[in-house]
A and B are shown apart, each in its own frame.
Chain A
């Protein structure tokens, strides 16, 4: 990067961090540190909720996913608005009325301390690992820029986030997230503008999109019902609804966001805002990936976007094979470009038969290019177990680094950092809240002063930060990061949501029945995922429904009988 990029990056990050710490300088107690004194307006709540979900992974992986797999991932969010409505009606008033710090406090009132601790534990496991992955994503950026191992950048990134989160607390997290979202969207609009201006003069935006469409990248909706298909409208609406309901209703990293609202109405409006904006926002981010794909139909695309991995393979015993594959890829791309330009010309002049021939031609060339790329990926995998054989997370970054002007590169890199800081800070903050409130304070109720509690919370945050850092170091082997986070969530969210749904809607079910059902369900969900019985999105639905049914049965036939006996 040029010095101007480093300057933009440094000024943006330091300003945001300084602003957050300054806004939270009066934090004196646990409520201020963990819940921002419950004083935030709806737009703060809404943007904070969105910034927590939209991590750096969103901005690195989603465009890469659109480039390789198309924009069908947008369907994943179709259940979100429905989940927001259920949350507004049920969860928000319940949590506000009980004046809780964490969602899991409610479970002790409804069942017993065992259920509260079990659910908190499940949350801590999955959120601790997910937060590690959100640290890894921007570390990847630094690794590519500085050409140093991702392990070192993970440690650097984690330390930066730990310092910022420990000093800032929830207030700093929320205030910085407000600015982060503004900067993030300004930067992304700029990036789209640059992609469009970099297209060849004879190719308009619609032409570029039509090329992407013909290559199957713009299939936003898939109406086929198929349980093994990861993204279709049904898995999005039904499976997505349960995943989002679990995430926003029972994951403390989100519950902690809307508990900062100064009233039920403000928290609700924040969630409604999220429900209205999320799908268009995700569509926009995916379209950036589709546009980058279109861009590379008219410019030389690298055979592999992770320059560090390919450089490693080139140094090894397969260097000659890599050189041959690169050459083949380059030649195929040149031939494909000719077909694309001819197809566009023929299509505009209504020369249907010639257009069809050219369309088949460029699709055929693309298939050949995919084969060559696949061969290189196999070589990369073979060369080193540590090298990633999936470059999806590097695609947008590669474009930014090679084609955007100086200064803008720094801003785009800053956006990745800001997104990471927002979601990681929320993650660490929620891990600290749950550990402090549901474990430490619950098991040591008569101990500390406010000052000591604040200090302990900060040390707990440090501990979770270090744990997440260790996870980050091993995240490189997880493939597409955004999917890894969602799969991980799906393994636990179904059970957690099921417990909450039983608590809300099955008043006759007591703690023993729900505890037994939770243990069986969690084992079943992990088995179903391990044996690949269905796409991960359905695990939330299966987990929560199974738990409710089992809890009802256990209460009716096992624990009721014991009570009678």
Chain B
């Protein structure tokens, strides 16, 4: 596994940290799947 130091050697230019950036991706995925589920139910 790469060194932990490598993960943080370049700070994220947005949202303060890479952790927050990845959290944004996860939340977006959950929201998109939720919306698609509602879409499916509505047009079923």
Q: Which A residues are in CB contact (< 8 Å) with B12?
A: 265, 268-269
Q: Is the CB of A233 closer than 8 A to any CB of chain B?
A: yes
Given A213-B43, A504-B2, do A220 and B36 touch, yes or no (CB 8 Å)?
Answer: yes
Q: Is the CB of A136 closer than 8 A to any CB of chain B?
A: no
**B: interface residue count bin:** 20 to 34
Q: Given the complex of chains A and B, what is the CA–CA distance between A560 and B24 in angstroms? A: 44
- B40, A219: Cβ atoms closer than 8 Å: yes
- Which of A84-92, A405-413, A445-453 binds B? A84-92
Q: Mark B13-44, 1 if CB is under 8 A from A, else 0.
A: 11000100110111011001100110110111
- A81, B28: Cβ atoms closer than 8 Å: yes
Q: Given the complex of chains A and B, what is the CA–CA distance between A438 and B5 in angstroms? A: 29
Q: Mark A88-105, 1 if CB is under 8 A from B, else 0.
A: 111001100100000000
- B33, A90: Cβ atoms closer than 8 Å: no
Q: Given the complex of chains A and B, what is the CA–CA distance between A302 and B37 in angstroms? A: 32
Q: Which A residues are in CB contact (< 8 Å) with B6?
A: 93-94, 97
Task: Scan residues 91-139 of chain A and give those whose CB is less than 8 A from a CB of chain B.
Answer: 93-94, 97
- B40, A220: Cβ atoms closer than 8 Å: yes
- B25, A269: Cβ atoms closer than 8 Å: no
- A90, B25: Cβ atoms closer than 8 Å: no
Q: Given the complex of chains A and B, what is the CA–CA distance between A219 and B41 in angstroms? A: 8
Which B-chain residue is minimally distant from A275 (CB atoms)? Answer: B25
Given A84-B25, A279-B29, A279-B32, do A218 and B2 touch, yes or no (CB 8 Å)?
Answer: no
Q: Which B residues are in CB contact (< 8 Å) with A220?
A: 36-37, 39-40
Given A213-B43, A265-B13, A269-B13, do A88 and B32 touch, yes or no (CB 8 Å)?
Answer: no
Q: How far is the CB of A343 from chain B (nearest CB, A)?
A: 14
Q: Which A residues are in CB contact (< 8 Å) with B9?
A: 93, 264
- B37, A221: Cβ atoms closer than 8 Å: yes
Q: How far is the CB of B29 from chain A (nearest CB, A)?
A: 5
Q: Is the CB of A272 closer than 8 A to any CB of chain B?
A: yes
- B29, A82: Cβ atoms closer than 8 Å: yes
Which A-chain residue is minimally distant from B11 (CB atoms)? Answer: A265
Q: Beyond A265-B11, A276-B28: 6 further Cβ-contacts under 8 Å?
A: A89-B18, A93-B2, A210-B43, A213-B42, A275-B29, A279-B29
User: What are some 26 contacts across the A-B interface (CB < 8 A)?
Assistant: A78-B29, A81-B25, A81-B26, A85-B22, A85-B26, A89-B7, A89-B22, A93-B2, A94-B6, A97-B2, A97-B6, A213-B42, A213-B44, A214-B43, A218-B44, A219-B44, A263-B10, A265-B13, A268-B12, A268-B18, A268-B21, A269-B12, A269-B13, A269-B21, A275-B28, A275-B29
